[in-house]
Amino acid sequence: MTDVRPDAQRQHRRVFIRTYGCQMNVYDSDRMADLLRSLGYRLAESVEHADLAVLNTCHIREHASEKVYSELGRLRDVKQERHEAGRDLTIAVAGCVAQAEGEEIVRRQPAVDIVVGPQAYHRLPELLAEAERKAALKRAGKRLPGAGVLDTDFPAESKFDHLPTPHGVRAGSAFLSIQEGCDKFCTFCVVPYTRGAEYSRPAVHVLAEARALVAAGAIELTLLGQNVNAYHGEGPDGSTWSLARLITALAGIEGLARLRYTTSHPRDMDDDLIAAHRDVPQLMPYLHLPVQSGSDRLLAAMNRRHGRDLFLGLVDRLRAARPDLALSSDFIVGFPGESDADFDATMQLVDRVGFASAFSFKYSRRPGTPGSALPDQISESVKSARLAALQSLLAEQARAFNQSKVGQIVPVLFAETGRKPGQIVGKTPWLQSVHLDGSPRLIGRIAEVRVTAGHTNSLAGELAGLMRAEEAA
């Protein structure tokens, strides 16, 4: 193994990390930052101040992947300017585009030095050393057999065993990856190919990381996984723990006020997990449960392994367990073969459930997935019209949900300062953003807020009771 200890030269290097896509990528970017910090790197605010640029990429839809290539073009220009000034910029592509496209990235953009997949980034120190060696040979005028350093393995060892403990916590809230990969193979989705087979971290490791995060200031943890409710990690006693069991154990950590998990699959929503929404007060009353479509025919074509009735039954049981539960979901419109009647079934499902928030997308044809080879692809104009109709119904529901909180006093965890001077922004238990006037000293803390207005995407409020008096003092 290459010697990767920090040396004097590395002490002052800077890394700029840009993150695309999901919360899992945000978690991975933070872990890469921790790893690079242990090599003496510091974080740079922009690429102009960096020696190393890492793009942590997303491959879920075509638009997300293409953004990466335009950003790489910009980085190539910065690298070129640096060369003219006798300095260097190392460019690394990480994440799901790296995994899916591998060498193709270096072919399309030769300025890229490192391509590293989401399961191999714990090897970044070695990859950087190798990239530096190659750069030195190039500078010495040597011809190299291949450009770029590539690692898109799914290594037998888990990256989690090779990463340092998380460094810090931003504003009281932290992500914690507990599960990765997916074995479901929905016919539209690249995740089983880019993130690999389902893997659950052992419960003791999750608990240790959770304790470290709480010790570092987290009062809210969001458990992450591509299929987080399929979690089946090894428990301390050797038995297999479900997500419900893990959540119950995590709720015992003193100082941890809020727990969330995302993203779930309806098929893995078991009785114990539904009961946890009733029994664990720290588990927030919000659930993101993607359904994708309300048509049984389309759900079958998507290989979702369940029908509309299973989903609606879950909604009823979840609401019986936790009456104030806010539901969120993902929808795809224009999957191959989607008829007007199929789309209508989606609208009816939305109407019946009433979502607090949702994400909806036009179907994007992803190379290598079964959906991309299906006949009867839907035209762009039909997709756009359906998306607009769905989004207008979802926006109406979000607004109604937000307005239902007006007049209530709710606990808010403050996350950041707002765009307007004197404003701070936080989250309710139902994951709504609330904007109000208050001191930045509240960031990372929970305070009671009276909701004064409900809009489509956020709430407005004012500090209530004690906190308001303290602020005034």
> In angstroms, what CA-CA distances link 465 with 418, 433, 448?
22, 20, 7
- Are 224 and 27 in contact by the 8 Å Cβ rule? The answer is yes
Question: Is there binding between residue 150 and ligand SF4 (CB under 6 A)?
Answer: no
Location of structure tokens 């030769």: 110
Q: Does 192 bind ligand SF4 (CB under 6 A)?
A: yes
| Amino acid code (one letter) for 382 | V
Say whether 360 sits in a helix, a strand or coil: strand
What is the number of other CB atoms lying within 10 angstroms of the CB of residue 314?
20
Alpha-carbon span 287 to 274, nearest angstrom: 11
Q: What is the dihedral of CA 133, 134, 138, 142, to 10 degrees?
A: 90
| Residue closer to ligand 5AD (CB basis): 23 or 158 | 23
Choose among 34, 18, 15: nearest CA to 26: 18
- For ligand SF4, the closer CB: 185 or 359: 185
Structure tokens at 328: 């969120």
Residue 332 touches which of ligand SF4, ligand 5AD, none (CB < 5 to 8 A by kind)? Answer: ligand 5AD
Interacting residue with ligand SF4 among 91, 189, 221, 326 (CB under 6 A): 189
Helix (H, G, I), strand (E, B) or coil at 6: coil
Give the separation between CA 68 and CA 59, rounded to whole angstroms: 9
* Residue choice 47, 100, 191, 259 for contact with ligand SF4 (CB under 6 A): 191
Report the C-alpha gap between 127 and 92 in whole angstroms.
10
**Strand positions, DSSP E, 334-454:** 357-362, 409-417, 423-427, 433-437, 446-454
- For the chain, the distance separating the N- and C-terminal CA atoms, rounded to the nearest angstrom, is 59
Written as one letter, the residue type at 72 is: L
Q: Least distance in Å: CB of 60 to ligand SF4?
A: 8
Residue 170, strand partner residues:
173
361 binds, among ligand 5AD, ligand SF4, none (CB under 5 to 8 A by kind): ligand 5AD
- Tell me whether residue 261 or residue 430 sits nearer to ligand SF4 (CB atom): 261
Total residues binding ligand SF4 (CB under 6 A): 10
Q: Of residues 120, 332, 415, 460, which one binds ligand 5AD by CB under 6 A? A: 332
Name the one range near ligand 5AD by CB under 6 A: 158-166, 168-176, 309-317, 356-364: 356-364
364 in contact with ligand 5AD (CB under 6 A) = yes
Task: List the one residue from 189, 387, 413, 436 that touches ligand 5AD (CB under 6 A).
Answer: 189
- The residue within the footprint of ligand SF4, chosen from 185, 236, 409, 457 (CB under 6 A), is 185
Q: Which residue type occupies 76?
A: R
Nearest distance from C-beta of residue 191 to ligand SF4, angstroms: 4
Residues in 246-275 at the binding interface with ligand SF4, rule: CB under 6 A: 265
Per CB under 6 A, 360 contacts ligand SF4:
no
Residue whose CB is less far from ligand 5AD, 124 or 301: 301
* CA quadruple 205, 209, 211, 212: dihedral sign: positive
Site track 202-241 with ligand SF4 (rule: CB under 6 A), x = hit = ------------------------xx--------------
Residues that bind ligand SF4 (CB under 6 A): 182, 184-186, 189, 191-192, 226-227, 265
**Which residues make up the interface to ligand 5AD (CB under 6 A)?**
60-61, 188-189, 290, 292, 330, 332, 361, 363-364, 366
